[in-house]
Every structure is written in C-alpha cells, then in structure tokens.
Amino acid sequence: MRLRLLTLLLLCLCGTGVRAQIQDSVPPAKLYKVRPAISIPVIAAGFYFSQGKLADFREKTPLTQAYLDNLDPAEVPGIDRWGLRQNPDKAAAAAKTSDLFFITGQLAPFTLFAWKKYRDEWLDITLMYLEAQMVQGMFYGYAPFGPAGIDRNRPRVYYEEVDFGERTNGNAQNSAFSGHVSTTATGWYFYAKIITDHNPDLSGGQKALVYGAASVPGVITAYLRVRALKHFPTDTAIGLGVGAISGIMVPEFHRWWQKKHQTKAMVTPLYGNGAAGLGFSLTF
C-alpha cells in the first residue's frame, strides 16, 4: 500500500509536468544564468562542509540514565506533544517509509529530463538543483535553529520502550530540525519551480496546483518522521520551510541573474535638423 501511494504521488507530480509541458506558451530561450566554473566549486565546498557537520552532530555528548530519569514531558511545548503520543512499535516501519520519500524527493527533479524543453537545459538545471540541496544542507549544518545551535532531544528519548542506546546517543539530540523533510521538500519544490518558470502562461490557480502537489511528499514525510519518533511537529515544519526556500529561491536567483545581465538591443528613430535616422543601443 505504501509503495502504491509513493508511486501515485510521483505520477501525480510527473503528470503535472506533462500538463505544463503541453502549454502553448513559449518561454525565453535562456531562463537562467548559470556558470559552471562558479557553481561547481561552490557546490563541492558546500557539500564538504555540511557533511562534516553531520559527523560532528552524531558525536554530541551522550545522555545519561540520570538525565533520562529527570526528563519531564510537560516541558515539551503543547504543539509538539503529539510526538509523545506515538506507538514505538510502529516507529521502525514509519522510518523506512520516510526513507522512500527521502530518496524519491532527491531523484524527482531528474524526471524533468524526460521532456526535451528541460533536457535542453540539463546542465543548468542539474547544477541549480545541486546548489539547492547544498543550500538546505548548509542550513542544517550551520543555521542557529538547527542542530548546530540547538540540542533538542528527539521524541524517542522520552520513550522507555526504546533501546537505551538509541535514547542516549549523540544523534538523539538532533531533533531540530528535520533534514529528511528539508531534503525531500527541496527536491519537489525545485521541480515545481522549474515547471512554472518554463510555462509563464500558467494561471495563478494552475501554479497553486503545481506547488500544492509539490508540498504533499514533504508533508507526508513530516508526518512519518513524527511517527518514527525522530522529530517533533515543529521540527518538521521548519524542515518544510527550509526546503521551500532552497528549492524555489536558488533557481529564482539564477533567473534574476539572467534578467539582470540579459543583452538587450534597441532600435529607436532619431529626428533633428531636418534629418531622420535610426539609433541603435546595446544594453548588458
């Protein structure tokens, strides 16, 4: 059932891409300005430093039994207490299913290359997507509202049914925020952004439909991460926001950059002193 749901969601989003593909609108020949000589080193450096942070987060000082004995669930904000009312026996299954959404979200943008209009820009789109995932990784690694700035216990720490090692290891303090959700959301929001950019005649309602569909996998991943005792609801909400910012704003930056540096040729009539002619100007 879960695999069928996953397949249905993927087909839904890809189907949205098909509908957008057959729009009559013709976008500009060049939508984004991407320079591989700049993007590739930035991407490599970003991934290197963010991955190094992940290793550091797993090495946080383990919790002790005395610490667990003094935990007070009442100190968890009311909005997050849903994370303390889960069934630990179902946590492993929820985690495995969330991993499927996590992987699918990372691969989703590459399905755009099934259509020629996107395949013709494969290098620009690929580099922008890697930048988007790098940006969300840097958020996770360095933002003050992530594990670099907050040691927040995962919900599993509060469950006595969970293995002692899982409750106390360093990674158990990295609840804020959900990297699974931010990664998944980045992939799908990037997918939606590329579609809407290439189909400027889409109505506001159609764009809302595209972005609404792109939100579904991230929301489901967020739900599953709570069920898996990995995160509280607010942790997943922040992850969804980080994914939206990364997936949408990176291509939007390259689109703005292209417009700013776009070459414009203008021919204007000139009149004066009984003569007439044409003026030509070239703006970069």
Spell out the domain ranges in the chain. 2-283
How many CA atoms lie less than 13 Å away from 11 in the CB half-sphere?
Answer: 6
Nearest-angstrom CA–CA distance, 272 and 1: 77
pLDDT tens sequence for the chain (284 residues): 444 444 444 444 555 444 444 344 444 568 999 999 999 999 999 999 999 999 999 999 999 999 999 999 999 999 999 999 999 999 999 999 999 999 999 999 999 999 999 999 999 999 999 999 999 999 999 999 999 999 999 999 999 999 999 999 999 999 999 999 999 999 999 999 999 999 999 999 999 999 999 999 999 999 999 999 999 999 999 999 999 999 999 999 999 999 988 755 444 454 455 544 444 444 44
- For the stretch 185-213, pLDDT in tens is 999 999 999 999 999 999 999 999 999 99
pTM score: 0.84
Concatenated DSSP letters of the chain:
-HHHHHHHHHHHHHHHHHHHHT-S----S------HHHHHHHHHHHHHHHHHHHHHHHTSPPP-HHHHHT--GGGS-GGGGGGGSS-GGGHHHHHHHHHHHHHHHHHGGGGGGGSHHHHTTHHHHHHHHHHHHHHHHHHHHH-TTSTTT--B--GGGG-TTS-HHHHHSGGGGB-SS-HHHHHHHHHHHHHHHHHHHH-TT--HHHHHHHHHHHHHHHHHHHHHHHHTTS--HHHHHHHHHHHHHHHHHHHHHHHHHHHHT--EEEEEEEEETTEEEEEEEEE-
